[in-house]
C-alpha cells in the first residue's frame, strides 16, 4: 500500500511549471482548456514537409542565457523553463535550499533524435565529412541531458536523471520523484516530463508510415480522440514539471498544496510493440486504486491517454469500461484533443490541466468529437463543452506508451 498515516510518507504537489502549445503557465493553460482553445497549428519540418504540430512559445531567455540555449537542447530548454517556473510557483525560498537534497526526475519519450538529425544534416553540406561533426553532440544526446541541463542551470547537486518511458514518461517522472522522497534520497523533487519531439522529422515520418499521423484542413480540429473521423496523432512539444514534497515538509512551511499523490502504478503489456493491451491497462488502473485504498467509484475524473488512433482509443475505453462500469459517476475527459500528443510531457501536462478542477469545480471537455465512435462511448465522457458545478476531489491520470508501458497516477485534493 502506498497510502500511510505517516505525514513524511505522504507526497504532495506544491508547484507547477509548464509550457504547452496553448499556454506557458497553469492559469493560461487552464483558461485555454476551458475556452476550447487548441494549440495545434500548421508546421513544417525537413524532409516531411508541411504537417501539423503543437509548438510551444515560452520565453526561452527568461531563465537561460543565449549561450546556454546555443549549447543545450530544446528538451533541456523546456526543462529549464519548467523547473524554474515550478520552483517560483512553489513559493520555496530557493536561495535557502540545500541543493544537494534536490532531485530531478524527468520523463522523456525519446532523446537524441533531434540532435543527431541536426548533425547529419550539417555534415551533409560537407559531403558527410565527420571532421565537422560537433563536439557538442555527445553532451546533447546523452539520455540524462534534459535533467542535467536543469541541474546546471539551477545549481542543483542532488541526483538527476531522465526516465525513458515512451509516452507514459510524464507519469513515470512524477512517480519516480515520489519514490525518491519516500526513500529519503532527496527532500524536494522536481519531477514530470518534457518533449522536444516536434524537432525530429523521424517521429512524423514514423507515424506517417504507420498510418497514424493526423491530417486535417483546420489544424485546431486535427486532434480528435474518440471521434469516428479521427485519423491519427498530432505530435506536440511541451513540458510540465512539479515540485513534490513530503506532506510534513509542505505543511511546515505553509505551502500551497495542489493535491496529494495518493496512488500510482506502472506495469507492462508484454504483448505488442505498438498495440495497447486493455487488460493490462485495466490491471494498472486497478493496482493504482488498490494502493490508494480507493474504489473506482471514488474517482471523480479520469484524464485519458487517448491519442486519436482508432485502436488506442478503443482499447483504453475498453479498459476504463471494465474498471468504472456504466454508472457515469466518474467523469472522463481528454486533453490531447486541445494540444495534441506532447509525448514525454503528455502525462504530466494532462494531469496539470485537470488539477484546477479541485477548486473551480469544472471538468474541461474532450473537444473535436463530432461523431462519437460507438466503441468509445462511455457514460461519463465529457464532450465538447465543459461540465460545471462538479465536485472533483480525486483525479486519475492515464499515460501509456509503446512497447506496452502503462502508468497511472491518482491525485486527491488535500
Partner 1 sequence: MTAAEIRDEILNILEVIAPDEDLSNIDDSVNFRDQMELDSMDFLDIVMELRKRHRIQIPEDDYMELASMNSTVKFLEPLMKDIAKA
Interface pick for partner 1 out of 3, 37, 71, 137 (rule CB under 8 A): 71
Under 8 Å between Cβ of 59 and 28:
no
Per CB under 8 A, which region of 43-51, 60-68, 144-152, 291-299 contacts partner 1? 60-68
Instruction: State the minimum distance, in angstroms, from the CB of residue 137 to partner 1.
Output: 11
* Residue closer to partner 1, measured from CB, 69 or 279: 69
Residues 6+ apart with CB under 8 A from 305: 167, 312, 316, 336, 346, 347, 350, 398, 399, 400
Contact track, partner 1, 113-142, x by CB under 8 A: -------------x----xx-xxx------
The answer to whether 391 contacts partner 1 (rule: CB under 8 A) is: no
- Please report how many Cα atoms fall inside a 13 Å half-sphere around the Cα of residue 235, on the Cβ side: 22
* Residue closer to partner 1, measured from CB, 62 or 253: 62
Cell readout for 236 is: 506536440
Instruction: State the minimum distance, in angstroms, from the CB of residue 86 to partner 1.
Output: 25
Interface pick for partner 1 out of 70, 93, 95, 130 (rule CB under 8 A): 70
What's phi and psi for 12, nearest 5 deg?
A: -125, 155
Report which secondary-structure segment, H or E, holds 16.
strand 11-19
The runs of H, that is alpha helices, within 298-402 are 310-324, 336-339, 346-354, 357-360
* Residue closer to partner 1, measured from CB, 71 or 291: 71
| Sites for partner 1 among residues 234-293 (CB under 8 A) | none
* Residue closer to partner 1, measured from CB, 44 or 135: 135
Per-position DSSP letters for 26-39, written without gaps between them: HHHHHHHHHHT---
Instruction: State the minimum distance, in angstroms, from the CB of residue 152 to partner 1.
Output: 12
How many residues lie near partner 1 (CB under 8 A)? Answer: 11
* Residue closer to partner 1, measured from CB, 126 or 128: 126
Binding site for partner 1 (CB under 8 A): 65-67, 70-71, 126, 131-132, 134-136
Amino acid at each position: 500500500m502506498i497510502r500511510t498515516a505517516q505525514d513524511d510518507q505522504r507526497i504532495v504537489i506544491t508547484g507547477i511549471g509548464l509550457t504547452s502549445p496553448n499556454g506557458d503557465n497553469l492559469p493560461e493553460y487552464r483558461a485555454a482548456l476551458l475556452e476550447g482553445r487548441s494549440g495545434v497549428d500548421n508546421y513544417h519540418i525537413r524532409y516531411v514537409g508541411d504537417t501539423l504540430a503543437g509548438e510551444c512559445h515560452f520565453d526561452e531567455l527568461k531563465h537561460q542565457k543565449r549561450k546556454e540555449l546555443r549549447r543545450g537542447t530544446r528538451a533541456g530548454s523546456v526543462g529549464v523553463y519548467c523547473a524554474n517556473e515550478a520552483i517560483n510557483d512553489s513559493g520555496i525560498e530557493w536561495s535557502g535550499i540545500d541543493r544537494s537534497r534536490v532531485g530531478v526526475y524527468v520523463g522523456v519519450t525519446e532523446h537524441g533524435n533531434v540532435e543527431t538529425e541536426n548533425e547529419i544534416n550539417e555534415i551533409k553540406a560537407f559531403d558527410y565529412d565527420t571532421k565537422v561533426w560537433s563536439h557538442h553532440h555527445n553532451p546533447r544526446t546523452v539520455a540524462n541531458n534534459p535533467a542535467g541541463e536543469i541541474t546546471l542551470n539551477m545549481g542543483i547537486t542532488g541526483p538527476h536523471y531522465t526516465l525513458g518511458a515512451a509516452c507514459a514518461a510524464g507519469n513515470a517522472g512524477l512517480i519516480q520523484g515520489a519514490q525518491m522522497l519516500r526513500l529519503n534520497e532527496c527532500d524536494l523533487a522536481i519531477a514530470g516530463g518534457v518533449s522536444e519531439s516536434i524537432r525530429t522529422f523521424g517521429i512524423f515520418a514514423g507515424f506517417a508510415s504507420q498510418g497514424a499521423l493526423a491530417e486535417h484542413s483546420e489544424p485546431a480540429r486535427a486532434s480528435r480522440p474518440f471521434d469516428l473521423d479521427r485519423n491519427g496523432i498530432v505530435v506536440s512539444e511541451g513540458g510540465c514539471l512539479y515540485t513534490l514534497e513530503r506532506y510534513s515538509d509542505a505543511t511546515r512551511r505553509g505551502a500551497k498544496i495542489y493535491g496529494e499523490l495518493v496512488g500510482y502504478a506502472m506495469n507492462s503489456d508484454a504483448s505488442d510493440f505498438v498495440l495497447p493491451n486493455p487488460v493490462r491497462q485495466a490491471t494498472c488502473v486497478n493496482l493504482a486504486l488498490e494502493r490508494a485504498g480507493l474504489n473506482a467509484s471514488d474517482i471523480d475524473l479520469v484524464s485519458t491517454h487517448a491519442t486519436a488512433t482508432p485502436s488506442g482509443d478503443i482499447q483504453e475505453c475498453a479498459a476504463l469500461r471494465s474498471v468504472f462500469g456504466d454508472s457515469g459517476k466518474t467523469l472522463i475527459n481528454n486533453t490531447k484533443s486541445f494540444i495534441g500528443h506532447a509525448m514525454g510531457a503528455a502525462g504530466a501536462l494532462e494531469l496539470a490541466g485537470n488539477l484546477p478542477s479541485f477548486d473551480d469545480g469544472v471538468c474541461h471537455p474532450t473537444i473535436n468529437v463530432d461523431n462519437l465512435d460507438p466503441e468509445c462511448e462511455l457514460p461519463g465522457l465529457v464532450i465538447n463543452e465543459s461540465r460545471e458545478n462538479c465536485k472533483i476531489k480525486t483525479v486519475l491520470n492515464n499515460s501509456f506508451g509503446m512497447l506496452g508501458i502503462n502508468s497511472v497516477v491518482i491525485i486527491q485534493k488535500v
